[in-house]
Amino acid sequence: MSYCINPTCPNPENLAYSEMCQSCGSRLLLRDRYQVIKALGQGGFGATFLAQDQALPGEPSCVIKQLRPSGTAPHVLQMARELFDREAVTLGKIGNHPQVPRLLDYFEDCEQFYLVQEYIHGDTLQQEVKRNGVFSEARVKKFLSELLPLLQHIHERKVIHRDIKPANIIRRAQDGILVLIDFGAVKNQVSQLAQSDQSALTAYAIGTPGFAPPEQMAMRPVFASDLYAVGVTCIYLLSGKSPKDLDYNPTTGEMLWERLVEISDHLSKVLRKMLEVSVRNRYQAAEEVLRALELEPYLDTLAQSVLIQSSTGSESGILCSNSSANPSGQGVAQVAAAIRARRAKTKNATGTYGTGTPPRVLTAKPTTLESNNSGSSSGQKSNTPRQLDTQGLLTAYLKGRRDFALYNLSMLNLQGVDLSGTNFHSSQLQKTNLQGANLHNSDFGQASLNRANLKDANLSKAYLSNSDLEGADLRGADLSYAYLNHANLRGANLCGANLTGAKISEEQLVLAKTNWMTVRPNGKRGLL
């Protein structure tokens, strides 16, 4: 189908490869190369369309953003042109980053303005929550670990996004990496109000009410404004409620959200500071949030995880994938290096910290529940994974601990235990007995579950992306709505397993064992 983008066209749908619109007579091929297929969305600033670039082999898909000025007066067109140029310059400043859609082209045609960008195939976080339900604390932390390094990259280039929200964050189907879209200052319809150029340009870059903090709504955005929007996004991911559905303190203007979510006191404290109404009391940089979340010990692993996903995510059929050689894992690694460099500067020549309170060491301290393999109390990090025995793990869980990322938990007997909502990211669980265990909504991303016993386990909504499940026993396991993208299922036994709604490919299932009792992702039983 060809789609007419004339705003006044009464019937924009046309036959494929038509040259002229049958309803209004407009040309359908933009710039003699872009064939618009369908409308993707419409807002005050104009509209967004899916198109094909007929000038390139294979006619790859792309996204066209059309700015529609509300009048033809010279000063209105000039203001629209400046806004349009500003968005193009903004995308140019950010550079070729794998978590940002590439700018492919921009042009003016018949007093309409067009941006052509890379098409990101995948679901927004808003769509994910509506389809699969709210995120666990572990998944929200993973979300922050992926988005905050990107935000730091953007802010270092003096760019404020101004419209971060779940609908503007896409999980790319190709590799599961989060991509931030809609960067421009071109947000609202350009009107013919009699304003000076300065005030007019500023007035149309406000953002989305509820996600934008007070200083941004007052047209004075700062870098911390984006951090506020990220905080509001976290509340949506945890509760499924948008800002308009939340109550606010009438005196302070603070969002009342804490009764709606079940998270640790630590994460609550971090989110409270991200959501401070007063910008001076808020975190000022993405790096500060990462430090507060105590993610430093995991940054190198997270960087490697993104590097692996980026290098393996070259599936055919994904439209206009980003071929940049600068994977987003480098952004994570840069943040990790910056944190370590800053801390190193606080040490004096003898290796002790200077005056003032010594910074908190984020590596885990050995307790009676954990074995310290390094045999040292110097506080230095060891490459050896931390360990827990069965009783130590269960005791820690009962005391409220939910983060066991990067632990060696291999060969433990955890049959029938409740470990729901737990973070096992990058942990070792080879040959671990988890038969009948409740692992609902737990994070096993990058974890090794090689030959683990997961028979009859509850893994509904579990995050298993890039995990190693080779030879694992998953007979009768509940994997409904589990996220299994890029998991290694070679030789895994899925006989009788429930995969309803699971994110898993046919190629993965071919490598696993299934039978007529296996419930496929579409909800039907039978061999795959």
Q: Which residues are catalytic?
A: 163
Can you tell me the distance from the alpha carbon of 174 to that of 18, in angstroms, rounded to the nearest whole number? 31
* HSE value, Cβ hemisphere, 13 Å, CA-based, for 247: 8
Joined tokens for residue 313: 């995510």
Nearest to 66 by CA among 86, 42, 91, 90: 42
Name residue, tokens 């905050």. 148
CB 6 within 8 A of CB 46: no
Nearest to 184 by CA among 209, 201, 199, 166: 201
Is residue 200 helix, strand or coil?
Answer: helix
Can you tell me the distance from the alpha carbon of 295 to that of 332, in angstroms, rounded to the nearest whole number? 11
Nearest to 204 by CA among 76, 49, 343, 114: 76
Nearest to 272 by CA among 260, 258, 259, 261: 258
Nearest to 107 by CA among 115, 119, 99: 115
Residue 223's CB is within 10 A of a number of other CB atoms, namely 21
Quick one: how far is CA 247 from the chain centroid?
Answer: 26
Nearest to 425 by CA among 183, 175, 141, 134: 141
CA dihedral 470, 473, 478, 482 (to 10 degrees): -10
What is the C-alpha end-to-end distance of the chain, expressed in Å? Answer: 34
Q: Is 364 left (phi over 0), alpha (psi -120 to 50) or beta?
A: beta
Phi and psi at 37, nearest 5°, equal -100, -45
Can you tell me the distance from the alpha carbon of 511 to that of 508, in angstroms, rounded to the nearest whole number? 6
Quick one: how far is CA 245 from the chain centroid?
Answer: 23
CB 228 within 8 A of CB 253: no
Q: CA distances (Å), 288 to each of 39, 140, 148, in order?
A: 40, 17, 10
What is the longest distance spanned by two Cα atoms in the chain?
80
Joined tokens for residue 383: 């490459």
Q: Where are the alpha helices (DSSP H) in 357-494?
A: 390-398
Can you tell me the distance from the alpha carbon of 437 to that of 418, in angstroms, rounded to the nearest whole number? 6
Can you tell me the distance from the alpha carbon of 458 to that of 417, in angstroms, rounded to the nearest whole number? 11
Can you tell me the distance from the alpha carbon of 445 to that of 467, in angstroms, rounded to the nearest whole number? 5
Query: Which amino acid type is present at position 299?
Result: L
Residue 149's CB is within 10 A of a number of other CB atoms, namely 29
